[in-house]
Structure 1
Amino acid sequence: MIRIAIVTGSTRPRRRTAVVARWVAEVAGRHPAVAAGEAAFEVVDLAEYGLSVLDEPVPALFGDYRNPHTHRWAETIASFDGFVFVTPEYNHSAPAALKNAIDFLFAEWNDKAAGFVSHGVHGGTRAVEHLRLIMTELRVANVRSQVALSVFTDFEITDPTEPGVLTPGPHQEPTLNELLDEVVTWSRVLKPLRTAAPVPAPTG
């Protein structure tokens, strides 16, 4: 079975990102691959991992992890075959918490697939452009389809300090399903590479 993590890419209190991640999980739960027992999706919330600002003394490339929070994070990411990153856009880029979490690891990301669901004033598209570059460096295949949710047209917001209600336009769910199709397919196609080069057990 292919396991896909829906990564909640913000740790801010009252995050709109958590609302979007729940919607992604709901749609993913109806995906044909799930019904057929070929794939499973699980929300992975960065806020639940308590990662500090990167504090490993050895670069992640060497897999020599020293801290308990890093080991826990590495075990989680290693257990998945692909990812759907749900991200807002902060100052023309991805949140620092998400970049930090990505930088903790290396081999655990390799030879997997990723898709992106973004949200923001500009649909979060600029955050995704940066994440695509980062994922490529980590040997993660980026799928083409992308969901970009506009704060103006895909949410009902009465108080800007609250997440609001997600009201995705009629084209958004079909686009999300295309993204999920691609992530599942690419995760499956890349599986022989992961089998041939298993992630080494972190030391330390």
Structure 2
Amino acid sequence: MASDCTALRSRPRDRIVASARDLFHRHGIRSVGVETIADAAGTNKMTLYRHFGSKDELIVECLQEVADDIQAMWVQLALDHPNDPMAQLHGWVLRGAECVLEDGRGCDLANAAIELTEEGHPARRIIEECKTEFRDKLASLCRSANVTQPELLADTLSLLLEGARVSRQSVGLEGPSAKFVRMSEAVIAAFARN
């Protein structure tokens, strides 16, 4: 099984996407050119363009993988806490804290939204769909956890996570992002039915 994964990872397309995701995450989308991506992937621009007709197509593929990773996180939360929506909600908070602490680069989708401002950019659809689905799943989880005002709780938690990621980027680990778990747990407790 491991050799199958290694073989898949060695395919040029997979190397290109993995390299682009890493470079976009570390340096931003606009500051990374296709030549840099091709070099990091151990290939050339011709091969990159054979798999992706443009840098925009590659960006879309990378962001779709981010969206798929987020979907996998939701599946894992349900597997970790079957039939316990409140435990899943607390698990979401802990996973959010991990994301905040990981490397300080923030959310790849939010960062892409800031960089890709032109209307009609194909990546904007992926960003909007994923962020909307993320919020809707959180609202559904809040409803299942039987809290008061589940939509408001979902929006509050979403904004806390987005804000914690930005705070981590701007003022580091000692800023408000360090209190993300405590703030989120207090908000959940405030919305919980007694």
TM-score (norm 2): 0.31
Higher helix share: 2
Structure number with greater Rg is: 2
Higher strand share: 1
